[in-house]
Amino acid sequence: MVKDRSHRHLGSTMHALDEPIARVGAAVIHRQPVVHPDRSVFGYAVRGVVLAPDGTQEPEQRVEHLVDAQYRILDPDLLTGDKLLVLRATTRIFLDEGDVPYAGNGLVLEIPGELSAREDAYDLAATLKMAGYGLALGEYTGSSRYDRLLCLVDYVKVDVVRSQPELAAIVERAKNAGATVIAERADTKERIGFAMECGADLLQGPMFERRGSDADRPLSTGQVQCLELVRLLSAEYPDQDAVVRVIGTDPELTMRVLHLVNSSATGVRRHIDSVRQAVVLVGPRQLFALAMASIVDARAAAVGPLWSVLTRALTVARLTNSDEGYTVGMLSAVASHLRISVDSIIERSGVSDSIANALRDQTGPLGPVLAAVLAHEENDTAGVRAAGYEPIEVAHTHLAAIPEALATATALATPVAD
């Protein structure tokens, strides 16, 4: 565990979200959730990569100065909220010479495999440990040459894409040394199950799988009601009376819309008790997000899934410059979260053919954008390019959406009554 949160090297308070990013020679910042088996968020893993002209990743040590430059202007609290930051260390950081972004909710430095192989790796890791940082050993393969670090690190990261006997042996070796094991590339139901069978404690990958389950699970009455609200809001000219009626007949939706309109974030000067007035003041996009908050059951203590849903929705919306993009991003994430097929959510939400095609097989005018965003969430730069987008553009748009999505998710999360 991280015992002490050092304030060493606070760095700049500026963050990359407000900085122009060059398209050549700049680091692409990747961020993935690290979650418990129940998908509750433990922290966020952040790393920088630089792409070569052919789209492949440049060797880390060749371009670390570019990654360091991006780290210096990151605002970790906008990337991780109230969760732990797991930051992949560069050589300068490992040598205790580079600025480390201050993370108010805790920082773990991930030691890459190449740095772990240094002759002085133990002494350098011990220095960071004494300074109060949590440590994670990256790319652990069970090799005895790295065992000397196991007594110092809090976490060990392993790639889940390997044979079961091999992965089980690696996990056992790390856990016997007292480390918590994080399984990377846990991005499908099969890989997640495989990692858990082998004893992994935490999972790293996109919050949602690519597609919902082929066998739809039953939806609650409240979730069906929320999807009906989505259907109404997706119309070219939403029927306001019908919207008010759907919200007014659902206690959960009524509570959430009144809570939202009367929160300080809306700037309303007088208390609003009328659902009809609240619907007008909140507006269609916020109502859409509110419906999603009810579907994913977002609460103040666990806004992670809703944060991810809204981040995807905002990213697709900004890349397409359209409200339809917002709907595509939102519904694709919700289908995966609910583990229902996209065909089911298309039918229940009554969206247009353009949105349906994007959700079903990433075709049509909106489909390639969704494909690019999904690939970015999986750290798949080749997939982003294959969809017709530049990874740096998608990465920057995604980063810029994160703080707005967090603010909205926090506002929509209704406190749980004791």
Q: Which domains are delineated in the chain?
A: 16-204 (3.20.20.450), 221-412 (no CATH)
C-alpha closest to that of 133 among 75, 200, 86: 86
pLDDT at 369 over 60: yes
36-61, pLDDT tens digit by residue? Answer: 998 889 999 999 988 887 777 888 88
Lowest mean pLDDT among 263-277, 304-318, 379-393: 263-277
**What's the per-residue H, E or C state across 276-294?**
HHHHHHHCHHHHHHHHHHH
190-236, pLDDT tens digit by residue? Answer: 999 999 999 999 999 998 876 555 556 677 778 888 888 888 888 87
Which pLDDT band holds residue 339 (cuts at 50, 70, 90)? confident
Which parts of 201-299 fold into alpha helices (H)?
221-233, 240-248, 251-261, 275-282, 284-295
Calpha distance 205→379 (Å, rounded): 9
Calpha distance 288→74 (Å, rounded): 30
96-115, pLDDT tens digit by residue? Answer: 887 788 887 899 999 999 99
pLDDT at 239 over 70: yes
Lowest mean pLDDT among 2-6, 365-369, 407-411: 2-6
pLDDT at 338 over 50: yes
Handedness of CA 295, 296, 298, 303 (dihedral sign): negative
Calpha distance 103→20 (Å, rounded): 23
Calpha distance 35→202 (Å, rounded): 6
DSSP secondary structure letters along 307-365: HHHHHHHHHHHHHHTSHHHHHHHHHHHHHHHHT--HHHHHHHHT--HHHHHHHHHS-TT
Do residues 76 and 47 make contact, with C-beta atoms less than 8 angstroms apart? no
Which pLDDT band holds residue 5 (cuts at 50, 70, 90)? very low
Q: What is the CA radius of gyration of the chain?
A: 22
pLDDT at 154: 97
